[in-house]
């Protein structure tokens, strides 16, 4: 995609908010290159305030308050969301009518509609019959302890089968007249240790496409436009890896979102 060399006058009063997913703030360099790339385009861009492992409800309020502080009141808003950040943002827009009125477009990148098989396994002890070794079992038990000790359990539970249905049903009950662009992906190998569980997902549902965190079928939304990309794992859009230019990736998504801005 050839990107414009100058900012369109139509974007002079538009603020772009990158919204992190679960644990994003704890990942070194998370969204650093995309934020710099957006600013290099001349866009007014921010990383939205959200708790590193907050619940959907908590982060919806944080995002709303952040837009009131950092975006000019006359600005339209474009949200560029990764993973759970998309759920947090949709919940905020659903809850606060004035935020909905100001939002011009939303990008959901690898935002799930179904629960995380990994968190279901760790926190709900699902898929125990697919654990192939004592080492895998021990690893998941240690991860459960780490999630509890780090006070991350409440936020993680929103992505489990126990709570995900409520989160999605609330979002689906809302009418979405806004332009929504949904990006899903699959990959056959991890590029980072940060957020990839390729081997584990392959034991849970063999031969089903996934991005190392969610199955592809869980990432397709029934609203808006869909983009499916191959060979991009779950971590690459936020921290890069494997030669993937994640800064330019979000530049392209911002450009596509800007072309769909509501008046």
pLDDT of residue 180: 96
The pLDDT confidence band at residue 4, using thresholds 50, 70 and 90, is low
**CA-CA distance, 22 to 50, in Å (whole number)?**
9
**CA-CA distance, 148 to 165, in Å (whole number)?**
22
pLDDT of residue 159: 98
pLDDT digits (tens, 9 = 90+) for 196-228: 799 899 999 999 999 999 999 999 999 999 999
Q: Which residues contact 212 (CB under 8 A, 6 or more apart)?
A: 187, 190, 195, 196, 197, 198, 201, 233, 234, 235
pTM of the model: 0.95
> Is 16 domain-assigned?
yes
pLDDT digits (tens, 9 = 90+) for 80-121: 999 999 999 999 999 999 999 999 999 999 999 999 999 999
Helix (H, G, I), strand (E, B), or coil: what is residue 48? coil
pLDDT digits (tens, 9 = 90+) for 235-248: 999 999 999 999 99
**Bridge partners (DSSP) listed for residue 244:** 241
User: Can you give the residue range of the structural domain that contains 66?
Assistant: 9-113+168-200+209-258
> Is 125 domain-assigned?
no
**CA-CA distance, 19 to 23, in Å (whole number)?**
12
Residue 79 has pLDDT above 70, yes or no: yes
> Is 3 domain-assigned?
no
Helix (H, G, I), strand (E, B), or coil: what is residue 140? helix
Residue 161 has pLDDT above 60, yes or no: yes
> Is 241 domain-assigned?
yes
Residue 165 has pLDDT above 70, yes or no: yes
pLDDT of residue 128: 86
The strand ranges marked E within 168-243 are 180-186, 225-230
pLDDT digits (tens, 9 = 90+) for 13-26: 999 999 999 999 99
The pLDDT confidence band at residue 68, using thresholds 50, 70 and 90, is very high
What total of structural domains would you count in the chain? Answer: 1
> Is 176 domain-assigned?
yes
The pLDDT confidence band at residue 11, using thresholds 50, 70 and 90, is confident
Phi, psi of 229 (to 5 degrees): -120, 135
> Is 13 domain-assigned?
yes
pLDDT of residue 93: 97
pLDDT of residue 262: 58
pLDDT of residue 129: 86
Candidate from 69-78, 176-185, 186-195 with smallest mean pLDDT = 186-195
> Is 44 domain-assigned?
yes
Tokens (6 digits) for 247: 């800064």
Residue 170 has pLDDT above 70, yes or no: yes
Tell me the CATH number at 34.
Answer: 3.40.50.1820
pLDDT of residue 23: 93
Q: Tokens 């007014």 identify what position? A: 44
> Is 4 domain-assigned?
no
pLDDT of residue 230: 96
């Amino acid at each position: 995609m050839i990107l414009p060399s100058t900012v369109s006058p139509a974007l002079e009063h538009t603020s772009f908010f990158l919204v992190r997913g679960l644990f994003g703030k704890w990942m070194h360099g998370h969204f650093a290159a995309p934020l710099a790339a957006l600013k290099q385009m001349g866009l007014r861009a921010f990383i939205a305030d959200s708790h590193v492992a907050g619940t959907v409800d908590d982060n919806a309020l944080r995002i709303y308050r952040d837009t009131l502080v950092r975006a000019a009141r006359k600005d339209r808003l474009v949200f560029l969301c990764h993973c759970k950040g998309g759920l947090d943002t949709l919940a905020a827009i659903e809850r606060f009518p004035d935020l909905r009125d100001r939002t011009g477009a939303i990008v959901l990148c690898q935002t799930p509609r179904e629960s995380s098989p990994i968190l279901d396994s760790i926190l709900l002890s699902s898929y125990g019959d697919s654990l192939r070794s004592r080492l895998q079992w021990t690893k998941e038990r240690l991860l459960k302890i780490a999630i509890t000790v780090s006070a991350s359990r409440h936020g993680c539970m929103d992505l489990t089968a126990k709570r995900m249905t409520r989160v999605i049903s609330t979002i689906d009950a809302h009418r979405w007249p806004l332009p929504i662009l949904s990006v899903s992906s699959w990959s056959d190998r991890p590029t980072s240790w940060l957020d990839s569980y390729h081997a584990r997902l392959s034991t849970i549902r063999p031969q089903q496409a996934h991005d190392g965190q969610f199955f592809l079928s869980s990432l397709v939304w029934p609203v808006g436009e869909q983009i499916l990309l191959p060979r991009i794992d779950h971590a690459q859009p936020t921290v890069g890896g494997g030669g993937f230019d994640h800064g330019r990736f979000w530049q392209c998504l911002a450009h596509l979102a800007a072309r769909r801005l509501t008046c």
